[in-house]
A and B are shown apart, each in its own frame.
Chain A
Amino acid sequence: MSEPKLRRELGLLHAVMLGVGASIGAGAFVMLGQAAAMAGPAIIVVVLLGGVINLFTIFSFCELGAAMPEAGGEHLYIKVAYGGLPAFITGWFEWMSEMFYAVLMAVGSATMISYYIPVNIPITAIGIVLIFTLINVRGAKGSGTTAVVLGLTLLVILAIYVVSGLQHGFGADAFQPFMPKGVFGMLGATAYIFVIYLGSEDIVVAQGEIKEPGKTIPRALLLNAGLLIAIYGIIACVTVGMVPTEILGELSSPLAFVAEKTMGWVGAVLLTIAGLVAAMSSLNTAIMAQSRVVYSMSKDGYFPKVLSAVHRRFGTPHISVIVTSIFTLVFTAIGAIEFAAYAASFGFIIGYSLTNFALMKLRRTKPHLKRPFKAPLCPFTPIVGIVASLGLLPFMDPRVLALGAGLGVLALLAYYLSMVGHYRIRVAFGGMSLGIGVFAALLAYLIETGLLPLVTPPVLFYVLIFVSAVSILAGVLNVTTPTRNIF
């Protein structure tokens, strides 16, 4: 019997809504207000500028996605262009960014629910992750349909917001002065707001399940990019027209504030629902995307083979969906929101830059690769994409760079472990167990003799002795393992 493969079940609408769902997270609703405070009414230009900059990298995704329409997205492109370590690091950052984005959206959804219903935020967030994991295990079409339903709901609510704002009318001097902070204020706001466009790449991560990929992938990416520019532009215009920008920056939910002004309490509730739908939609896409990255890396031999198993009935990489969701659940339980936000942004930016590099390299090294779509004005467009992506880094919080470096070191460690083989890793863990066992015995001795002045319950001594004995035994058994059982 042949090995089951991913099924191409997603059409153009599914693909576009995956991108919309991934990009319009709940964060966008808050960030628009803060960016407006940075740029003034010129936020409208800022949003359009960010969209155009995003478009340069989208062209690269269009070309590479249509030419190599297998699951994995950026990881796949870098593998073909550079191979080995760069491919692993790209896949690693892709996975990390999707995973932390999922955490961010799960906790965000639970927090929004808690505004109206008294729920425990970590437990609710865990429940939401479990529901979307189940949807993603049961089929790409199911998660695609979920993305369409959530995406359309979101668009309808945003349309109501815009129409009610336009009916209400703008203040006479709403857009004056247009650029109170000058050009630098605008550029800073562009860097700040650019993350609201990240997420389109989720379309290419799931490209292994998109029908007629040569045509559908570029169309979906371009439609998604255009739609985002239009949505953000109109929303920025209505929001700035209703409330002075300096007030917007101080609001925790600027869009809900404006909606309340135009529609009363119904508006505030509607916008909270929109935020919730946006967060859930992003979560759904992130869970799907992270599993496809891990599936692709497993197929390439970087992760255990079991992660590339495909369910016979559902046609989904069910093991990788479950395993990646377990990691998501662990971080969701901790609720480290700030950490998740930084990690997600850094990973997306690295992926964007490397994709543009891959496009230029492949144009040179694989000129005969079949390209149903070609990025216009190459190498101008990918170079602008790289400069724009990397140019964002200096505007970010220094902790983003520190965290990025930390994740990079972790990636190198994971790459090394995946390359050195099972036997050596086992011996290494055996050694660590031995060390822990000896340390626990020493600790127990010091506490019992009173050499370590710690006030501890008496049971701790016996716990330490037990842990020490088990760890030493486990260490000896692992270190002395016969190699013939391994190879």
Chain B
Amino acid sequence: MRVKRALVAIVGVAQGAIGVLAVIFAYMLYHNFFNVQGLVSMSEENVPIYMLLLFVFGFISIISGLFLIHERLEL
């Protein structure tokens, strides 16, 4: 049980953090902070589609991660 509690907590936090980073990265792409579009060789017309993908992935990861963190709090 203790192992499962630890695993649920670590995976939940890691997945939530991945989701948050994906959303932040989407914002950075949109505003082109630190010339991030140039760094990943992305043309401006492709930005919306990558933003959409990153947002969908980010929010799914955040919600899934929150479910696990919630379970950890209840265990």
Measured CB to CB, the residues of A under 8 A from B are 122, 333-334, 426, 429-430, 432-433, 436, 455, 467, 470-471, 473-475, 477-478, 481, 485
> Least Cβ distance of B26 to chain A in Å?
9
Given the known A-B contacts A333-B27, A455-B41, A485-B71, are A477 and B57 also in contact in the complex, defined by CB atoms under 8 Å? no
Assess whether A478 is in contact with B18, with CB atoms less than 8 Å apart: no
Cα of A430 to Cα of B12 in the assembled complex, Å: 12
8 of the cross-chain contacts (CB-CB < 8 Å) are A122-B31, A334-B27, A426-B67, A429-B63, A467-B18, A473-B7, A474-B64, A477-B71
Q: Which of A122, A426, A471, A481 contacts B15 (CB under 8 A)?
A: A471
Answer whether A429 and B67 are a contact pair too, CB < 8 Å, given A436-B60, A471-B61. Answer: yes
Q: A467-B18, A474-B15 are in contact. Are A433 and B61 (CB under 8 A)?
A: yes
User: Using a CB–CB distance below 8 Å, which chain B residues touch chain A?
Assistant: 7-8, 11-12, 14-15, 18, 27, 30-31, 41, 57, 60-61, 63-65, 67-68, 71, 74-75
List, in ascending order, chain B residues with CB within 8 A of A485's CB. Answer: 71, 74-75
A122 to B61, alpha carbons, bound, how many Å?
A: 26
Give B58 Cβ to nearest chain A Cβ, in Å: 11
Residues of A within 8 A of B74 (CB): 485
Cβ-defined contact, A432 with B11, below 8 A: no
Are B7 and A477 closer than 8 Å at their CB atoms? yes
In the complex, A474→B61 CA distance in Å?
Answer: 9
Which residues of chain A come closer than 8 Å to B15, judged between CB atoms?
Answer: 433, 470-471, 474
Q: Are B64 and A473 in contact (CB under 8 A)?
A: no
Contacts A334-B30, A426-B67, A467-B18 given; does A436 touch B8 at CB 8 Å: no
A436–B8 alpha-carbon span in the complex (Å): 18
- Interchain residue pairs A-B with the least CB separation, the first 10: A429-B64, A474-B15, A433-B64, A470-B14, A473-B11, A426-B67, A432-B60, A474-B11, A470-B15, A474-B64
CA distance A438 to B19 in the complex (A): 16
Q: Which residues of B contact A473 (CB under 8 A)?
A: 7, 11
Contact of A429 with B11 in the complex, beta carbons under 8 Å: no
Residues of A within 8 A of B67 (CB): 426, 429-430, 478, 481
A478 touches B68 (CB 8 A): yes
**Residues of chain B contacted by A430 (CB below 8 angstroms):** 64, 67
Contact yes or no, A470 B63, CB < 8 A: no
In the bound complex, residues from chain B placing their C-beta under 8 Å from that of A426 are: 67
Q: Are A433 and B8 in contact (CB under 8 A)?
A: no
Chain A positions within 8 Å of B7 at CB level: 473, 477
Q: How far is the CA of A481 from the CA of B72 in the complex (A)?
A: 11
The residue in B65, B74, B75 that gathers the most chain A C-beta atoms within 10 A of its C-beta is B65
Q: Given the complex, which residues of A lie within 8 Å of B57, measured CB to CB? A: 436
Q: How far is the CB of A313 from chain B (nearest CB, A)?
A: 27
Q: Are B64 and A481 in contact (CB under 8 A)?
A: no
Kindly list chain A residues whose C-beta atoms are within 8 Å of the C-beta of B68: 474, 477-478
Q: How far is the CA of A436 from the CA of B62 in the complex (A)?
A: 13
Q: Which of A333, A467, A471, A481 contacts B71 (CB 8 A)?
A: A481
Contact at B41–A477, with CB atoms within 8 Å? no
Judge whether A470 and B8 touch: CB under 8 Å: no
- What's the least CB distance linking B25 to chain A, in Å? 11
- Assembled-state Cα–Cα distance A478/B72 (Å): 12
Contact present for B18 and A470 (CB under 8 Å)? yes
CB-defined contacts of A478 to chain B, threshold 8 Å: 64, 67-68
Q: Is the CB of A477 within 8 A of B11?
A: yes
Closest Cβ–Cβ distance, residue B65 to chain A (whole Å): 7
Contact B65 A474 (CB under 8 A): yes
A399 CB → nearest B CB, Å: 15
Chain B residue at minimum C-beta to C-beta distance from A481: B71
- Collect the chain B residues with CB atoms within 8 Å of residue A475's CB: 64
- Could you tell me the distance in whole angstroms from the C-beta of B7 to the nearest C-beta in chain A? 7
